[in-house]
């Protein structure tokens, strides 16, 4: 007699479930490995961008620092000129008490002194600033010639 091979349906369902689970686990592991590679590449690119931005900002800051130091030097010269102008203003008040001719002589000397100081300062400035200071010197000479008449 031939025996019938009878299998329960549960045996087949269990085998299919385990093969599907194994297949799904294999895909999950492969996806995790691929995502890890993507994360490493993105991290590396982020570091490269950070380095580029750092050096760019560092260069800009060093240029800005140099310009600020230059401006501080000019600021000191301007403050010196302001102090000298305050001194000249106080002298002018004193001059108003003197006779007209004497005032003209003293003002002529003060204007000459201002002109000489402006000439000295112009040697330490940029060409644009020298041009502006030359205009001031011309105006001082015009005032001086007006006083001598």
The Cα–Cα gap between 88 and 117 comes to: 13
- Exposure letters 33-51 (e unless 16+ CB within 10 A, then b): eeeeeeeeeeeeeeeeeee
Residues 88 and 75 in one domain: yes
101-128 pLDDT, tens digit per residue, is 777 888 888 888 888 888 888 888 888 8
Q: Are residues 57 and 27 in the same domain?
A: yes
Indicate whether 81 and 113 sit together in one domain. no
Q: How far apart are CA 22 and CA 12, in angstroms?
A: 16
Is the whole-model pTM more than 0.75? no
Provide the token pair at 15: 């085998």
Expressed as residue numbers, the domain containing 133 is: 99-148
Helices (DSSP H) in 1-149: which residue ranges? 9-95, 100-122, 127-148
Q: Are residues 104 and 129 in the same domain?
A: yes
Cα–Cα distance list, 130 to 71, 111, 126, 141 (Å): 16, 18, 6, 16
Using the structure block, give the residue that is written with the tokens 């996806």.
31
Instruction: Flag whether 4 is in a domain.
Output: no
Same domain, 55 and 38: yes
Within a domain: 12: no
Same domain, 58 and 88: yes
The pLDDT tens digits for 25-79 are 666 667 667 788 888 899 999 999 999 999 999 999 999 999 888 888 888 888 8
Within a domain: residue 9? Answer: no
Q: What is the number of domains present in the chain?
A: 2
Residue 117 domain-assigned (yes or no): yes
Interatomic CA distance for residues 40 and 32, integer angstroms: 12
Asked whether residue 109 is domain-assigned, the answer is yes
């Amino acid at each position: 007699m031939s025996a019938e091979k009878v299998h329960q349906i549960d045996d087949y369902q269990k085998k299919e479930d385990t093969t599907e689970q194994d297949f799904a686990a294999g895909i999950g592991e492969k996806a995790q490995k691929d995502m890890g590679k993507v994360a490493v590449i993105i991290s590396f690119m982020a570091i490269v961008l950070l380095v580029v931005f750092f050096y760019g900002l560092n260069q800009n800051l060093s240029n800005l620092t140099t310009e600020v130091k230059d401006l501080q030097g000019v600021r000191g010269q301007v403050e010196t000129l302001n102090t000298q102008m305050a001194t000249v203003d106080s002298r002018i008040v004193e001059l108003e008490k003197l006779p007209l001719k004497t005032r003209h002589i003293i003002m002529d000397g003060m204007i000459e002194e201002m002109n000489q100081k402006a000439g000295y300062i112009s040697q330490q400035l940029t060409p644009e600033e020298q041009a502006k200071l030359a205009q001031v010197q011309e105006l001082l000479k015009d005032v001086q010639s007006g006083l001598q008449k």
